[in-house]
Amino acid sequence: MNIGIVCYPTFGGSGVLATELGKALANKGHNIHFITYQQPVRLSGFHANIFYHEVRVPTYPLFDYPPYETALSSTMVDVILNNDVQLLHVHYAIPHASAAYMAKQILAKQGIKIPVITTLHGTDITLVGRDKTYSPVVTFSMNESDAVTAVSKNLRDETFKNFKMEKDIEVIYNFVDVKRFNKKPIDAFKKVISPNGERILLHASNFRKVKRVDDVVNVFLKVTEQIPSKLLFVGDGPERPGIEMMCRESFAHNDIRFLGKQAEMEDILAVSDLFILPSEYESFGLAALEAMAAQVPVISTNVGGLPEINVNDYCGFLSDVGDVEDMSKNALTLLSNEEKFAEFKKNALAQALKFDINTIVPQYEELYKKFI
């Protein structure tokens, strides 16, 4: 099949998932055309079946806001016409679903029928999309898509609750390449981070308010008071300067490292003991799934789609939002009981295998086949 994939190219989960999906489909022999404004972060190297088309948005003194959506629709039309693309799969509704609708209408006038599949990822529904500034366009373009998928049951339910949906939403869970993430730790790396065998706690996100990164710091401080530990932060975003300040002022400032944006998460996960995700909302929590694939138990909140992935008292623990006390207690339970910890690590891998790339990607292929 010849598939066009539209996504955000940044470190956010939707872009990561879309890129990994494109790579997996290309490995299965499909031709994949990425359409976005920058090379996606997880897309590097050469692959015979992968093509990257950059959306250029010319500036003009009249524009306070260059019209990205118009440029995106025009690029979609151009890529489809010149590469025999048979289907557009857009990730994150805003503005990808409405831009795809426009491209579809333009092509229809030329007698070309191009099916559009929209995958909802989270904030496009629960935060941004619900805002009345966007909601009429999001509702219309979801309903005009040939198929809509959501990455968890919770996100599907939230969409029905908040939008006037006229069509069904299929749940296709996010996936992880377990083989790639279940790696042996690099001893030298571990030694640098925890020279005296301290435990390593990890958090990775885009440092937005919804991630409650200050809770990560507070959980860590309570843990390291009892069991000497180190805290690693991966990612970047608006809350990072405040969090860095908070860490600098804490008694454990020498035990906290900010690694910034990292493409090779598997190497960092391989040396980590626990993954901390205290978010206010997660439609899915792809970062938690990647941790589980690396046999890292997850200490998370119990909101959104997280309970569909992180099974409480099996491969991690779930707590109420903001309950730092409970999250630190759960972390200490695992770190102080080798037997339980080993069992949770094994369970984390078993749980991740349910979301393995080889199980989920065929579900997208089946969906594509219905429309091509």
3-state secondary structure of 276: strand
Nearest approach in angstroms of CB 179 to ligand GMT is 20
Q: Is-contact 49 24, C-beta < 8 A?
A: no
> Using an 8 Å Cβ cutoff, are 7 and 96 in contact?
yes
CB of 282 to ligand GMT, least distance (A): 4
CA pair distance 209, 204, nearest whole angstrom: 13
Using CB under 6 A as the binding rule, whether residue 122 contacts ligand GMT is answered as: yes
Q: Nearest distance from residue 291's CB to ligand GMT, in Å?
A: 12
For ligand GMT, the closer of residues 33 and 96 by Cβ is 96
- Residue 148 contacts ligand GMT per CB under 6 A: no
Judged by CB under 6 A, the residue of 215, 282, 290, 308 near ligand GMT is: 282
Give me 372's structure tokens.
């091509």
DSSP reduced 3-state for 298? strand
Confirm if 237 and 261 have CB atoms less than 8 A apart.
Answer: no
User: 208 or 345: whose CB is closer to ligand GMT?
Assistant: 208
Please say whether the beta carbons of 4 and 159 come within 8 A: no
Site for ligand GMT in 87-116 (CB under 6 A): 92
- Is 235 a residue that touches ligand GMT (CB under 6 A)? no
Pick the closer one to ligand GMT by CB: 77 or 303: 303
Which CB sits closer to ligand GMT, 278 or 285? 285
Interacting stretch for ligand GMT, rule CB under 6 A, among 98-106, 118-126, 266-274, 310-318?
Answer: 118-126
What is the closest distance, in whole angstroms, from the C-beta atom of residue 13 to ligand GMT in the complex? 3
Place of tokens 């690029």: 75
CB 75 to ligand GMT: min, Å:
21
* Options 145, 206, 218, 229; binder of ligand GMT; rule CB under 6 A: 206
Contacts with ligand GMT by CB under 6 A: the residue count is 20
Sheet holding 31-36, edge to edge: 50-54, 31-36, 2-6, 87-91, 116-120, 147-150, 169-171
- Residue 216 to residues 17, 210, 221, 224, 321, Cα–Cα distance (Å): 24, 12, 9, 12, 12
DSSP 44-91: -S--TTEEEEEPP----TT-SS--HHHHHHHHHHHHHHHHT--EEEEE
Whichever of 206 and 295 has its CB closer to ligand GMT, that residue is: 206
Q: Is residue 239 a contact residue for ligand GMT (CB under 6 A)? A: no
Residue 366 main-chain phi, psi, to 5 deg: -60, -45
Of 163, 281, 344, 364, the one binding ligand GMT (CB under 6 A) is 281
Instruction: Choose between 95 and 122: whose C-beta lies nearer to ligand GMT.
Output: 122
Location of structure tokens 């891998």: 349
Pairing relationship of beta strands 147-150 and 229-234 according to DSSP bridges: unpaired
Residue closer to ligand GMT by CB (options 215, 255) is: 215
Asked if residue 151 binds ligand GMT (CB under 6 A), the reply is yes
Residue 191: CB minimum distance to ligand GMT, A: 31
Site for ligand GMT in 7-36 (CB under 6 A): 12-15, 17
Where does residue 190 fall: left (phi above 0), alpha (psi -120 to 50 degrees), or beta otherwise?
alpha
| Per-residue binder mask for ligand GMT (CB under 6 A), 284-303, x = binder | xxx-----------------
Q: Which residues of the shown chain bind ligand GMT in the complex (CB under 6 A)?
A: 12-15, 17, 92, 121-123, 151, 174, 205-206, 210, 281-286
